[in-house]
Structure 1
């Protein structure tokens, strides 16, 4: 039974601080004072008997107890909002799916799965909203109940704890350059030249960037500045084609260009097996038939990709 001391204002304050990663920004969003939102969080922590947030240089972050509460509280309030909306017949009976997609699946898996989903039993009556971004952002929105599923390479992300992950396949990152690049076609016996090049990298604080940093440590590579940091595949590809830069790219994003000779992979392998690509859901939320259909479309698209 829900503790009668927990009020809607406590949960709204908790969710907004989780979303904004800041007490001040959360207070502005809810149009209340910062002392007011701090008081609401303290009261909630007293009620549940656990610390929900940790304060750091980058703002506030959820503790393990906070992540557990978020996994349940976000979807619960979202379901309440949807229930009120259903009474008003907001969507006229039309279903929606909200899918988070990481850059690792934008090029092939998601387009293939969306195409299959259109021919599934619930596809013709279901619209799909696809949200892109970093894994921490998308998984946080999944915990909040603002997304129904997140797809991509995300098992290294801290925010995946308490969520349900289903593995689909492994995908590696590749080091690619344009054919005219000075390192194209050369056997790299010494990694020193890599440190002198411009790089196209995932942004800092992302799980993919952690893989890049580990790679550089293993091979004693000191990345030179300036570099381009982005998760945009379109921007990364165009920049690499037109400049002497090394792009750390998901294999699916560059496979066609590698086969056509528009891009060249460097001889130094970034990863062997690669990371686990899969689908992530919030197990505390009841699934829908449309979401089940989309999950099956993803499985079929993933199986087809590996043949």
Structure 2
């Protein structure tokens, strides 16, 4: 474990050291810093005493760094630059135009994202939040174009992950949601083959969970759903399922509250094979701003409590 930083090292020591090296002498450094030459000389002497090594070679007409000074320069310069960047980021975060733009797939727009946004807005970095919903291709296109900062939901297919980074938070299965009076609930052991007799709400082609739905149906010997309704609208899916003997292929979290209240019921069919990774997709290598990082932290917290 690295030793803690000596608390005797102050910001004035680093600025005096860096400016003296940059200007090639104490007098020029003092003028640039608006300090007296004795003040700069004192800071340099204190720093060398704290580090217990000579930083400058004073045997020549123009001050030059010793080997110790050259080594320290790399780290001192990086430290001061990082500190300056932090100050600038904090200044920007206080601006009235700060906004975090979130893409929320249907999987998370009912529970995780609303809870995370509420937590973020209750914190010290609260700012304007824009939430965009829609299918995965739409949100990923916005992410790549810089229109949104992150996408929350199921992991994109490997074929579209070039240039993107995914952070896995938890996994979730699909359910087959029906209204409480659905005929299939009267069967002792309903099967996926029985779904063919009813209208089915499924994600459209291109949606992240579409391959999972197709794989489940093919494994059950179902090659086609005669009365298929493609939708990514949770409002339409809920309304249609409550009013008709339809079967809704949907992520569990989307209808969790409906299932808990008994408004909808999950058919007792094994859906373990439909488990998918839920998480945060961002541009690879992109450093999030302070507010965006706070939103991501809130999303992680909400996901951890599931």
Query: What band does the TM-score fall into relative to the shorter chain?
Result: 0.5 to 0.7
Q: How far did 1:190 drift?
A: 4.8
CA distance in 2 between counterparts of 1:104 and 1:276 reads 11
Match in the other structure for 1:4: none
Aligned with 2:196: secondary structure?
helix
Using the TM superposition, give the Cα deviation of residue 183 of structure 1 relative to its aligned residue in structure 2, in angstroms.
Answer: 0.1
Distance in structure 1 (CA, Å) of the matches to 2:208 and 2:119: 29
Q: Report the Cα distance in structure 2 between the residues aligned to 1:264 and 1:186, rounded to whole angstroms.
A: 14
Return 5+ residue gaps in structure 1 as ranges.
1-88
In structure 1, the partner of 2:133 is 132
Q: How many residues of Structure 1 are paired with residues of Structure 2 in the alignment?
A: 214
2:98 to 72, 92, 95: 95
Deviation at 1:228, TM superposition (A): 1.7
Match of 2:118 in 1: 115
Equivalent residues in 2 for 1:8-87, closer than 5 Å: none
Indicate which of 95, 106, 109 corresponds to 1:106. Answer: 109
Deviates further, 169-178 or 217-226:
217-226
Question: Structure 2: how far apart are the matches of 1:191 and 1:130?
Answer: 35
Rg comparison, structure with higher value: 2
Asked if the contact 1:136/1:158 (under 8 Å) is kept, the reply is no
The question of whether the paired residues in 2 share the 8 Å contact of 1:178 and 1:184 is answered with no
Higher mean alpha-carbon deviation, 184-193 vs 252-261, is at: 184-193
**Structure 1 residue 161: Cα displacement:** 2.5
1:43-65 CA distance string (max 9 Å, x none): xxxxxxxxxxxxxxxxxxxxxxx
Q: 1:167–1:219: structure 2 CA closer, same or farther, 3 Å change rule? A: same
Does the CA contact (< 8 Å) of 1:170 and 1:276 recur in 2? yes
Q: Is the 8 A contact 1:185 1:266 kept in 2?
A: no
- What RMSD in Å do the two structures reach over aligned CA positions? 2.0
Corresponding residue for residue 144 of structure 1: 145
CA drift of 1:189 comes to 5.6
Contact 1:103 1:231 in 2 (8 A): yes
Residue aligning to 1:303: 304
Aligned partner of residue 281 in structure 1, secondary structure: strand
- Runs (4+) off by over 4 Å: none
Counterpart in the other structure of 1:261: 262
SS of residue paired to 1:106: coil
Question: Structure 2 CA distance, aligned partners of 1:92 and 1:280?
Answer: 26
Matches of 2:133 and 2:280, distance apart in 1? 14
TM-superposed deviation, 1:187: 3.0
Alpha-carbon separation, structure 2, partners of 1:191 and 1:247: 12
What is the CA–CA distance in structure 2 between the aligned matches of 1:299 and 1:191, rounded to whole Å? 34
Please list every run of 5 or more consecutive structure 2 residues that lacks an aligned counterpart in the other structure: 1-91
Deviations 1:181-230 (A, max 9, x none): 11015233654322111101111122211111111100112433332211
Whole-angstrom distance in 2 between the partners of 1:189 and 1:226 = 18
Alpha-carbon separation, structure 2, partners of 1:107 and 1:136: 20
Asked if the contact 2:216–2:273 (Cα under 8 Å) also holds between the matched residues in 1, the reply is: no
Q: Is the 8 A contact 2:196 2:226 kept in 1?
A: no
